[in-house]
Structure formats: C-alpha cells, structure tokens
Amino acid sequence: MTTFNEISFTSADGLQLYARDYPSASGPARCPVICIHGLTRNSGDFDELAPWIAAQGRRVIAVDLRGRGKSAHDPDPSHYNPLVYAGDIAKLAKDLGIGRAVLIGTSLGGIITMTLALRHRNLIVAAVLNDVGPVISQKGLNRIAVYAGKGHALATWDEAVDYIRQINLTAFPANSKEEWDKWARRAFTENAQGQLVLKYDPDIALPLQNGQLRASSWMLKLAFRRLARKRPTLLVRGVLSDLIESEQAEYMRTVAPDMQYVEVPQVGHAPMLTEPEAADAIRRFLEGVD
C-alpha cells in the first residue's frame, strides 16, 4: 500500500527532480522532516523510517538527489557536489512552502545537511547526522571508491542480491536474506532490455574518484560548528563503521559537547535508522523539537 505522494520539482538549473511526500498523521502540526540519502542510494532507503516518523505527526519528505532514483541525470557531472545538492533541497523546501525542517542526512546526505547550515541556515531547526561528520576516515572513503559508479547490468534478482551483499557484508554481517533482497530492490531497476541496472548515474562517483571528496575540509568543520553548536543535533554511528570511527566521533563530540550521540551495535556504515537503538534515539530527539 502506497503511503506517500510523489513529487516532481524543477531545480534552479532546470533539472527534473523527484521526492516522496509522506503526510503526517492526524494531530497538531509539527515541524516537518526532510530525509537525504547517501552517495549511491535513493529515497527508498527511508521507506520504513519515513512512515514511522509520519505516524508520529510529522510530514516527511524523502528526496532522490539529482542522478539517483527517479531524479534526472545531470548532463554536467561537475554539478554532482554538495553545494548544488544543497541548493536542490532548499528549492524543494521553498516550492513546498517549508520554511523550517528537521534534516536527517545519511552519509553524503549529512554532508549536504552541514552545507545547508552554511547556505540556508534558517531552514534547519534540528539535524540527525547518520554516520557522517566534518572529518571522516580515509579507510571508508577508499572502500566506497572501490564500487561506487562501477556497477554493471545484471541478469537476475539473485545476482543483484549477491552484488548488494558483497559490497555491504562487512557493514551488516547480521543481515538476513530477506533484508538483502529488500536492499537490492531499492538499489536496482529493470531497463528496457530487461536487465537490472543500478538506480544512479555512474558519474555521481566522480568527486570521490578524483579526490574532490576529502576526509576533511575547513569548510565542513565550519559548517558542522554552525550546525551543531546552534541547533539540536544527533549523531548516529554504526559501531562497525569505517567512515566514522571512534576518533572522528570523539572529535565531533568535543567540538559540539551538547550534541546527542548514539551507537548502533553490529552495524557499520551506515545504519538504516530502523535499528532499535537508532529508532529510540530519533524518537526521543524528535520529541524535543516542536
């Protein structure tokens, strides 16, 4: 059963983009939530989290970043960068009449959230950073660079499940076959030739492969300070994460001592946010936001 409405909107540079709109349950209106996925993912990553939050009385928007899911691919790969993505999120919010929102950003989505804190700070009421921060581990970046943008067409769903399992097994060692199948169907789609292809433009990985996406930058450190020192912020970290290891998490907690923090056991990069520890932390975090 469909629990969301489909939104098509136009970016400032004319690209047709897509988002899912989950209406809030009945009750007093509360600040809406905007969910932003990771580098190679799409809005389907929030197909369990978003309706769960909506049932608590908040409208939830889950986006497909340009080049992913049902959003158009950009003919200029240089536009696949956090500044442009942040502009797309701000445009979507403006088009929907959303002046204030809670941002939930997974991996790249968290980098976009921090970037919004620099460029569109009034939009963010509070933020959840899912396994990401202004300083990340080169180990995790190297692992992601091995597979991002390098997938090829597959013939069967069993092959798609095997692919998803191979690139994520170290981060999710306890996943069931059912869970891997669910991930594969979020990640792949059938093309006109009946082949299964990943739901993203391979060029989205160019900033990672050419070194533009770095483990640390002064701009992101500034963005994180502006975000986490001035607004309620929650960091969710997978205990097995190779992108936000203990060292990076400790840096963030030192810079922003009021930041809330939760670890998800037996999970690496990045938690799905439906794990009991993550869900409980998010529920309590949202209870503190009007």
Question: Residue 197's CB: how many other CB atoms inside 10 A?
Answer: 16
- Residue 195 contacts residue 154 (beta carbons within 8 Å): yes
Q: What sign does the CA torsion over 103, 106, 110, 112 have?
A: negative
Which residues, other chains included, contact 2 with Cβ-Cβ below 8 Å and sequence gap of 6+?
none
Q: Which long-range contacts (CB under 8 A, 24 or more apart) does 24-29 make?
A: 24/54, 24/57, 24/58, 24/59, 24/60, 25/54, 25/55, 25/56, 25/57, 26/57, 27/57, 28/57, 29/57
Residue 212 pLDDT:
75
Q: Which domains does the chain have, with CATH numbers?
A: 5-137+214-287 (3.40.50.1820)
Whole-number CA gyration radius for the chain: 18
The upper half-sphere exposure of residue 143, i.e. CA atoms within 13 Å in the direction of its Cβ, equals 18
Contact assessment for residue 152 and residue 188, using Cβ atoms and an 8 Å cutoff: no
The overall pTM is greater than 0.95: yes
Is beta strand 16-22 parallel, antiparallel or unpaired with respect to 60-64? antiparallel
Pairing of strands 5-10, 16-22: antiparallel
Distance separating alpha carbons of residues 246 and 226, to the nearest angstrom: 22
Q: What is the pLDDT along the chain (290 residues), one digit of tens a residue?
A: 458 999 999 999 999 999 999 999 877 779 999 999 999 999 999 999 999 999 999 999 999 999 999 999 999 999 999 999 999 999 999 999 999 999 999 999 999 999 999 989 899 999 999 999 999 999 999 999 999 999 899 999 999 999 999 999 999 999 999 999 999 999 999 999 999 999 999 999 998 888 777 778 899 999 999 999 889 999 999 999 999 999 999 999 999 999 999 999 999 999 999 999 999 999 999 999 98
- Structure-block tokens of residue 207: 């900033």
